[in-house]
Amino acid sequence: MCGIVGYIGKRDATPILMEGLHRLEYRGYDSAGLAVARNEKLQVIKTKGKVRDLERILPERIKGMTGIAHTRWATHGEPSDRNAHPHTDTSERFAIVHNGIIENAASLRTKLEASGVTFRSETDSEVIAHLLAASPADTLEDSLRSVLRLVTGTYGIAVLDAQRPESIVIARNGSPVVIGIGDREMFVASDPAALVRHTQSVVHLDDGELAVVRADGYETSTLDGGATAKTPLTIPWTDESFDKGEFSHYMRKEIAEQPDAIRRTLSGRLEPRFQTTHIGGLEMAARELLEVKRIKILGCGSAYIAGSLGAHLIEQLARLPASAEPASEFRYRNPVIEQDTLYIAVSQSGETFDTLAAVQEVKRKGGRVLGIVNVVGSTIARECARGIYLHAGPEIAVVSTKTFTSTVVAFALLAVHLGRLKDLSTAQGARLLAALQALPDQVATILNQEARIATLAQRFARHENAYFVGRAAGFPIAMEGALKLKEISYLHAEAYPASELKHGPLALISPETPTVIVMPRDDLYAKNLSTIEEIRARSGPTFVITQPGDPLPMPVDAVIEVPKSEAVLDPLLLNIPLQLLAYHVALARGRNIDQPRNLAKSVTVE
């Protein structure tokens, strides 16, 4: 992986390809390149580094009306000029860009080398270009079909033939590829974000599909050659949605957008007449929902942590057993899929490969699965067919902020809906609806504390290790706070249940290891005070995230207060200061906040 762009039409392809690459920079990458066809020859330029580094080495005249481009996130071979995409065959007739992993690349490479092929890179992707050159098929699409029958693994792929530049051929298995429909011009991308300046009408390929894209249209088919019918979808985002505006970083912009993101997630879904919520995308009648005896939530990274909070919400409000599990481990334990269990897949991008594989495992075994995703028309959304769209707007920074918050809000909507079907009273429903409506303004008041949090971050940034603790629903918030801090500041951070601190981690507490204590003023408040005393007794710095009330009975290094909500929604508000803390620690340490090292926004490989 990471990003694919393609263009075919009447305009010069190079500026469009470069613009698309810039749009995909948020996904994380280590090299970039493009290939443009002209006069039956390929012009290939690629380099290690950023898209701006590619711009510096582009010849003044690299022209052509058909081209493909790529940003790479290394899987096989270190980041380097020669490992950058596009890759070509020996004669430089075929160029390919590829997201995914070819699992049998080593054996294919051995066979090709035995036939006299010399490889120029260490990548798995290059084998595709050489296999295309060896194919006896008459058309590019048939050549690609024959190649893909030989490979094992995942791919989103675009192929260009210098001698037949009237088409780009694309294919998909486990890694997204979309077609953008223009006026006598067509676009290709791994993410609709690359296309929004030129079109809002897109076609998503499904796994096992191939498409021939020409300036005047496209044809889709299966790998066996059978025609398929596709319905274009409208991208709900505009080009302006992808600008940073007044902010220095996308992450900071997206933190600031959370009040509006929450409003969009709530919009049209509150039903005050019956003190419940309305979630049309569930497509499950009350009777079917009442048959559910257990809920299991699947996600990776922040999506898994949001799922942990979602499980807490569902258990508290609907009194249904609920749990969250990393989707990346789910299918490898040969899970028992129960007919009275509802599975929920969580993914901001809707393309996370591990989560998609978990969804397919549930469906293969006859289970019911819903999706909670942000990107309309994404693979997981289409695979699940029903669920909840976040409508949080595009999230460009690699780390999740507003989509994490909107995901928790979506779980709250679901929990209220399920609870009102069961034992949640109208009075409780009314309080929860009022609390949900109050969230945007409450988040805005927390954001007003940014200057003070930034000052605390300066102290935090001097350390190399930190700990986050919380109890009950506070523990997932501690997990999310630790994850954000290490993702973007590279400061080592770990999260523990506060009750587990004395069972081992306390050995690591020292004056050089600050601890963030997530402690709402709930039934466990007194126990959290005891945790603070345990840390202070070892001279550990303590930073407390809490709510207004009586002053703490002991001195601490800092207290950040957030507004009080309904108890089950308090964790959502307690998380906001931790986002700002991570951002300002990373800023103080001079990190690349929007594109942290080694990470990608959408993880489409296993």
Per-residue pLDDT tens for 326-343?
Answer: 999 998 888 999 999 999
Distance CA 178, CA 187 (A): 8
Angle in degrees, CA 241, 246, 247, rounded to 5: 85
pLDDT of residue 602: 63
pLDDT tens, residue by residue, 487-521:
999 999 999 998 888 888 888 899 999 999 999 99
295 - beta bridge partners? 322, 342
Among positive and negative, which fits the CA dihedral 295, 337, 364, 150? Answer: positive
Average pLDDT of the segment spanning 315-325: 96
pLDDT of residue 586: 96
The secondary structure element, H or E, covering residue 355 is: helix 353-364
Q: Does the annotation count 63 as an active-site position?
A: no
Domain termination site, one of 446, 468, 491: 446
Q: 60-64, 187-191, 570-574 — which is least confidently predicted?
A: 60-64
pLDDT of residue 445: 97
Domain termination site, one of 446, 462, 493: 446
Residue 606: pLDDT over 80: no
Residue 564: pLDDT over 80: yes
Under the banding of pLDDT at 50, 70 and 90, the label for residue 75 is: confident
Residues 325 and 412 in one domain: yes
Residue 1: pLDDT over 60: no
Q: Does the annotation count 300 as an active-site position?
A: no
Tokens read off for 111: 């066979």
Distance CA 478, CA 481 (A): 5
pLDDT of residue 599: 78
Average pLDDT of the segment spanning 377-390: 91
Q: 192-196, 310-314, 417-421, 425-429 — which is least confidently predicted?
A: 192-196
pLDDT of residue 182: 93
Residues 85 and 221 in one domain: yes
Distance CA 418, CA 570 (A): 20
Would residue 441 count as lying in a domain? Answer: yes
350 CA to centre of own chain: 7
Contacts of 77 (CB under 8 A, 6+ apart): 83, 121, 122, 123
pLDDT tens, residue by residue, 102-117:
999 999 999 999 999 9
What order do you get walking across the sheet with 186-189 strand by strand?
41-48, 31-38, 66-72, 2-8, 186-189, 178-181, 201-204, 233-234
Under the banding of pLDDT at 50, 70 and 90, the label for residue 600 is: low
Distance CA 131, CA 138 (A): 14
Under the banding of pLDDT at 50, 70 and 90, the label for residue 375 is: confident
Distance CA 417, CA 318 (A): 8
pLDDT tens, residue by residue, 193-219:
888 889 989 999 999 999 999 999 999
Average pLDDT of the segment spanning 579-595: 95
Residues 441 and 454 in one domain: no
Cβ atoms of 121 and 72 closer than 8 Å: no
pLDDT of residue 604: 58
How far apart, in Å, are the Cα atoms of 305 and each of 193, 249, 330? 26, 24, 15
- In the set 46, 50, 253, 601, the catalytic residue is 601
Under the banding of pLDDT at 50, 70 and 90, the label for residue 239 is: low
Would residue 250 count as lying in a domain? Answer: yes
Q: Which ranges of 449-539 would DSSP assign to H, the alpha helix?
A: 450-460, 474-489, 525-537
Report the predicted TM-score, pTM, of the whole model to 2 decimal places: 0.84
Residues 368 and 388 in one domain: yes
Residues 87 and 188 in one domain: yes
Cβ atoms of 171 and 211 closer than 8 Å: yes
Distance CA 395, CA 193 (A): 10
Residue 317: pLDDT over 60: yes
Distance CA 52, CA 38 (A): 24
Contacts of 365 (CB under 8 A, 6+ apart): 335, 337
pLDDT of residue 78: 84
Residues 418 and 517 in one domain: no
pLDDT of residue 193: 83
Distance CA 131, CA 176 (A): 22
Under the banding of pLDDT at 50, 70 and 90, the label for residue 353 is: confident
Average pLDDT of the segment spanning 296-310: 97
Residue 459: pLDDT over 60: yes
Residues 336 and 431 in one domain: yes
Would residue 167 count as lying in a domain? Answer: yes
pLDDT tens, residue by residue, 18-45:
999 988 887 668 899 999 999 999 999 9
Residues 541 and 459 in one domain: yes
Residues 404 and 439 in one domain: yes
Candidates 274, 267, 282, 266; CA nearest to 428 is: 274
Q: 161-175, 229-243, 274-288, 392-406 — which is least confidently predicted?
A: 229-243
Would residue 296 count as lying in a domain? Answer: yes
Average pLDDT of the segment spanning 442-463: 95
58 CA to centre of own chain: 31
Residue 568 DSSP class: G
SS3 breakdown of the chain: % helix, strand, coil, rounded to 5?
A: 40, 25, 40
Average pLDDT of the segment spanning 52-58: 93
- In the set 2, 48, 50, 296, the catalytic residue is 2
Residue 314: pLDDT over 90: yes
Average pLDDT of the segment spanning 580-589: 97
pLDDT of residue 432: 97
Residue 260 DSSP class: H
Candidates 421, 8, 417, 373; CA nearest to 189 is: 8
Would residue 602 count as lying in a domain? Answer: no
Distance CA 65, CA 67 (A): 7
Would residue 354 count as lying in a domain? Answer: yes
End-to-end alpha carbon distance in the chain: 11
Would residue 312 count as lying in a domain? Answer: yes
Residues 249 and 349 in one domain: yes
3-state secondary structure of 224: coil
Domain residues for 503? 449-595
Pairing, β 178-181 against β 217-222:
unpaired
Average pLDDT of the segment spanning 527-534: 91
What order do you get walking across the sheet with 387-389 strand by strand?
322-326, 294-299, 341-347, 368-373, 387-389
Tokens read off for 19: 């613009």
Residues 134 and 56 in one domain: yes
Distance CA 585, CA 606 (A): 30
Q: Where residue 464 sits, what CATH number does that domain have?
A: 3.40.50.10490
Phi, psi (degrees; rounded to nearest 5) at 195: -115, -15
Count of the separate structural domains present in the chain? 3
Tokens read off for 24: 């995909």
Would residue 197 count as lying in a domain? Answer: yes
The secondary structure element, H or E, covering residue 270 is: strand 270-271
Phi, psi (degrees; rounded to nearest 5) at 301: 60, -130
Domain termination site, one of 446, 465, 495: 446
Distance CA 571, CA 52 (A): 40
Residues 441 and 453 in one domain: no
Q: 188-192, 410-414, 479-483 — which is least confidently predicted?
A: 188-192
